[in-house]
Structure 1
């Protein structure tokens, strides 16, 4: 997981080499260097899921796509035992549609949609203040960045960014399910 010290080192390296933080992040080999804060404390480190595909979804409880939380639960129930990790990253970046904080977000998602997958702390996912994972993903696949809530990133079993899937992509769409299936078979 990138610590504050790691980020400072990336900034320094980028500045020293005449580059940018985005260039330094783009050179980060895989997603296993990243993680997120958990509500109530602690960290969720992607390195703990090495060898498993990870689906990362920026969520918002008041979004018109919030019903996807129920479909994400179906996906989670179907593939968790086979190795999929699903991480919900609440964000207030698009339309101010995540007014809740901390554990209240996961509680609302569970109460309204039956969500039992992992939620992390509310996080910035776009722009220069975005979490380092989201800046890394944007550097890896600039055309596949979040444009709204419920954007999905699939991390492969080797930590590589397989792709980004826009908000309108249903979590059970053949495109996403097949990509997850390939990663589960390959891992």
Structure 2
């Protein structure tokens, strides 16, 4: 698989999402957690989603419990927390592994396209990948990169 549009993933509610529907959109893919020091980034991610969704942009949130057991809940608990605490309306997906033997295929591809500074593995929650309209990964951002800092690369991708 060579483009985002080749993948599928299970939504947090259990249906399958086929990413070819995202052709022509700019997408920010994030591994998330509800009990992490970076969890307040949900606010900024939702703000980006709200500000740019009408221009062909979306955020995809993938809960992950591989870093300090910071996402212990099930899908219903995660979704309820994200909606009630941060007003999250962008799509959330079933909890996934982003590293190791059971890495979700999408995350294996993302990491192969844009390895991090310390290798391909995801280092922590709230690692972000920006994908352009053609489905190509254009950038990887570490957990400490605040969503607000992504406005310029998102704008650039939307205008391309």
- The TM-score range, normalised by the shorter chain, is over 0.9
How far 1:103 moved relative to its partner?
2.5
Q: Which structure: larger Rg?
A: 1
* 1:100-144 per-position Cα deviation (integer Å, ceiling 9, x unaligned): 111321210111111111111111111231100111111112226
* Equivalent runs, 1:19-98 vs 2, <5 Å: 28-98=1-71
The structure 2 residue matched to 1:158, chosen from 134, 150, 158, is: 134
Structure 1 runs of 4+ aligned residues shifted over 4 Å read none
| Cα separation, 2, equivalents of 1:97 and 1:70 | 18
Question: Secondary structure of 2:28's partner?
Answer: strand
TM-score by length of 1: 0.80
The structure 2 residue matched to 1:183, chosen from 138, 142, 157, is: 157
| Cα separation, 1, equivalents of 2:12 and 2:85 | 19
Structure with the greater relative contact order (CA < 8 A, sep ≥ 6): 1 or 2?
2
Structure 2 residues not aligned, in runs of 5+: none
Structure 1 residues not aligned, in runs of 5+: 1-27
The structure 2 residue matched to 1:138, chosen from 98, 106, 111, is: 111
TM-score by length of 2: 0.93
The RMSD of aligned alpha carbons is: 1.2
* Equivalent runs, 1:93-104 vs 2, <5 Å: 93-104=66-77
